[in-house]
Structure 1
Amino acid sequence: MISISGQRQFQAWQDKVLPPVEEVRPGVWSIPVPFINNPMRYTLSYLLVGDGAAALVDPGWDSDEGWAVLNAGLAVAGLRPADVTGIVVTHLHPDHLGMAARLRAASGAWVALGANEPLPSHWRSEPARFLAEDRAQYTQWGVPQDFLDEVTFHRDAWAQMTNLAVPQLRLADGALLPVAGLAVRVLATPGHTPGHICLVDEANSLILTGDHVLPRITPHVSLEAQTQLDPLGDYLNSLEIMGAGADMEVLPAHEYRFRGLPHRVAELREHTLERSLEVIAVLDAGSAETVWDVSKQLTWSRGFDSLRGFTLRLALAETASHLVYLAARGREVEIEVSRGTPTPATP
């Protein structure tokens, strides 16, 4: 079993309120930043204070409300945005990287991502092409016409991604964060995204897990990134290396702090493999011809028909990742899961 170490965070999660700013260890602060209009409610940013330098890990979703909360949290730690010298982001998603551009503008801090995290240039330079590719993919996966608009990206929904900060640094597996007075090591954990990283602070017996390992929720692993051929296989392999933090307190990017990393890793692995067995059962039944068909026959907490919008999108992409995982391991999968040919982009 895991044991909850962040009791105040846990209570806040139960009460559906923002948790307090906390000093987890001397010079290590947990600062929640609101995740606007999302059931996850907030991202747990971590401030790591060194010698005349400070890094903020996962600054959170970009909003005026979040910026005010982040400023207030830094003030509790005795710092201002201008005192932040580095911004480390565990992965590309906008609830982690979104605030980086605003914080960099206020501080001049460098922004760092994992060495293998993709940042396709046409997200900015060719948005019409990106949106066309996205729609083609979900059309190929069998999404009915009536649902395409709600599961695919639109210009306004993609604004958080196109405004993301371009990183000044790339962090390789095993590298130390370039922050004076700290000895925090990068651990490459692809799966949730191709270049997801965790951070190991051996001096404080802490491991910052981003979205790779959360205490209650199974991280979403999907077939979306163009550079990731087998995201589920990557994720399972990345779980295997989490022994580096076996005895450490876990600082995830959502929910609350906990101990018992090996137990939680085992749970996540078991859940993931059980899901693949469920996909195999659907394939064996022989009635599914598309990713949509498979998804409809899987077990979802509130039923498939309850999935709408972005949640439905994630469910389909997760299903596709299981199909690719099985095919890569010799299972015959006749359902088309490769990305579709994009329709011509309009200016």
Structure 2
Amino acid sequence: MIQKVYENIYLNSVRLPNTPLKSLNSYIITDANRALIIDSGFNTQISSEDFFSGIKELGIDIKNTDLFLTHLHADHSGLASMFQRESSGKVYSSINDASYVTKMIQNSFSDLFVMSLKLFGMEASEDFFSSHPAVSYCPDSAIDFTYVKPNDIIKIADFELNVISVPGHTPDHISLYDSNKKIYFSGDHILDSISPNIAFWGDEHPDMLGEYLSSLDKTSALDIDIIFPSHRNIIKDYKRRIAEIKAHHFERLSEVLGLLDENGSKATVIEIASAMHWDYRAESFDAFPNAQKWFACSEAMAHLEHLKSIGKISSSDIQGIRYYFYNP
């Protein structure tokens, strides 16, 4: 379903099956001779029908259309291969997130997941991820990426879109900002009504939550009238929303620290995650689908690693399992 949200900007609502997110806000910016699409949807029939029918509804020539990926997740990158087969346009991405997309396509992305399961204190098995979106709905063939870096400018219609680096939700998440129009395409960096998942991305990214909080501060310093997020509602009071998201994570940090204390000052990720409050509806943590269980554990670990980075707790890997210690 196409909705005009700004002059020359349209929101194409792309359904996301089998996920609590329900849909993606794929934005289409139109010009007389060219178009730019921001994010795509899952590599599924339902998502592809919505994605390509939106392009057709606007009468856009897909051959003269480019695709910008804010980050690697399959609900944003899943249709990039299919798009590139139909279009002669570019597929923009940050270089590091593009490398993860390539790993998804090559079926090697699950190595990160399996490694994480062991650290969490769970049984390490590739079968655990058979229903994970990164495995089920990722692009189906190699992508010829056009890499962008911070402060690159993409011009379309009368917009000058500045590439902004906002790591946190993923290691190399990027957004687009027009300082003259005061509009900001946030991807999953800032969302309304739901908090972006902040995950553990391996020890090469030791404090993703810290990076995310810094990225929020960077965005808060910009002059923005409208944020176009990738899910849920358009955001106008962005400073309020940023403050709410930061408060949520500070509450999470207090919750995690309290649970670690209650657990005798020593616990694994799975022990902490299973005791945390989650909005996902299920009878118990054990009843979570595997993908949601991994997201929960990975977010719990991101908070634990941030507490470690600021000196509140310590950790030790014992037989491949990471134990966290609270010494008040």
Q: After TM superposition, is the score higher than 0.5? A: yes
- Name the counterpart of 2:92: 112
After TM superposition, the structure 1 stretch with the greater mean CA deviation from structure 2, 292-301 or 210-219, is 292-301
- Name the counterpart of 1:274: 251
Does 1:304 pair with 2:285?
yes
| 1:289 and 1:335 in contact (8 A); partners too | no
How many correspondences in the alignment?
317
Does 1:103 pair with 2:80?
no
Give the one of 294, 309, 315 matched to 1:328: 309
| Alignment-mate amino acid for residue 137 of structure 1 | S
- Name the counterpart of 2:14: 33
Measured in 2, the distance between the counterparts of 1:319 and 1:236 equals: 16
| 2:116 and 2:202 in contact (8 A); partners too | no
Q: RMSD of aligned C-alpha atoms?
A: 2.8
Give the one of 13, 21, 28 matched to 1:47: 28
Does 1:290 pair with 2:268?
yes
| 1:151 and 1:312 in contact (8 A); partners too | no
Displacement of 1:335: 5.2
Displacement of 1:67: 2.2
| Alignment-mate amino acid for residue 217 of structure 1 | I
Give the one of 98, 119, 126 matched to 1:140: 119
SS in 1 for 2:29: strand
Deviation readout 1:42-96 (Å, 9 max, x if unpaired): 1111111235221110011122232222232123322142231x11000000100
**TM-score scaled by structure 2?**
0.86
Measured in 1, the distance between the counterparts of 2:33 and 2:321 equals: 50
| 2:167 and 2:174 in contact (8 A); partners too | yes
SS in 1 for 2:198: coil
| 1:71 and 1:80 in contact (8 A); partners too | no
Q: Unaligned 5+ residue runs, structure 2? A: 323-328
Name whichever structure is richer in strand by fraction.
2
| Alignment-mate amino acid for residue 79 of structure 2 | M
The within-5 A match list for 1:198-209 is 198-209=175-186
- Name the counterpart of 2:298: 317
| 2:119 and 2:321 in contact (8 A); partners too | yes
The within-5 A match list for 1:121-200 is 123-125=104-106, 127=107, 130-132=109-111, 134-143=113-122, 151-153=128-130, 158-161=135-138, 163=140, 166-177=143-154, 179=156, 181-200=158-177
Measured in 2, the distance between the counterparts of 1:70 and 1:170 equals: 23
Distance 1:225 1:251, change over 3 A: farther
Displacement of 1:274: 1.1
Distance 1:332 1:68, change over 3 A: closer
Deviation readout 1:282-319 (Å, 9 max, x if unpaired): 22234343111111222223553443321111000001
| 1:221 and 1:232 in contact (8 A); partners too | yes
After TM superposition, the structure 1 stretch with the greater mean CA deviation from structure 2, 61-70 or 246-255, is 61-70
- Name the counterpart of 2:43: 62
Greater relative contact order (Cα < 8 A, sep 6+)? 1
Identity rate of aligned residues, in percent? 24
SS in 2 for 1:92: coil
SS in 2 for 1:47: strand
Measured in 1, the distance between the counterparts of 2:117 and 2:5 equals: 43
| 2:40 and 2:79 in contact (8 A); partners too | yes
- Name the counterpart of 2:219: 242
SS in 2 for 1:68: helix
| 1:123 and 1:130 in contact (8 A); partners too | yes
| 1:28 and 1:46 in contact (8 A); partners too | yes
**TM-score scaled by structure 1?**
0.82
After TM superposition, the structure 1 stretch with the greater mean CA deviation from structure 2, 280-289 or 307-316, is 280-289
Measured in 2, the distance between the counterparts of 1:259 and 1:338 equals: 49
Measured in 2, the distance between the counterparts of 1:226 and 1:80 equals: 44
- Name the counterpart of 1:90: 70
Distance 1:122 1:165, change over 3 A: closer
Displacement of 1:108: 1.4
| Alignment-mate amino acid for residue 140 of structure 1 | L
| 2:130 and 2:136 in contact (8 A); partners too | no
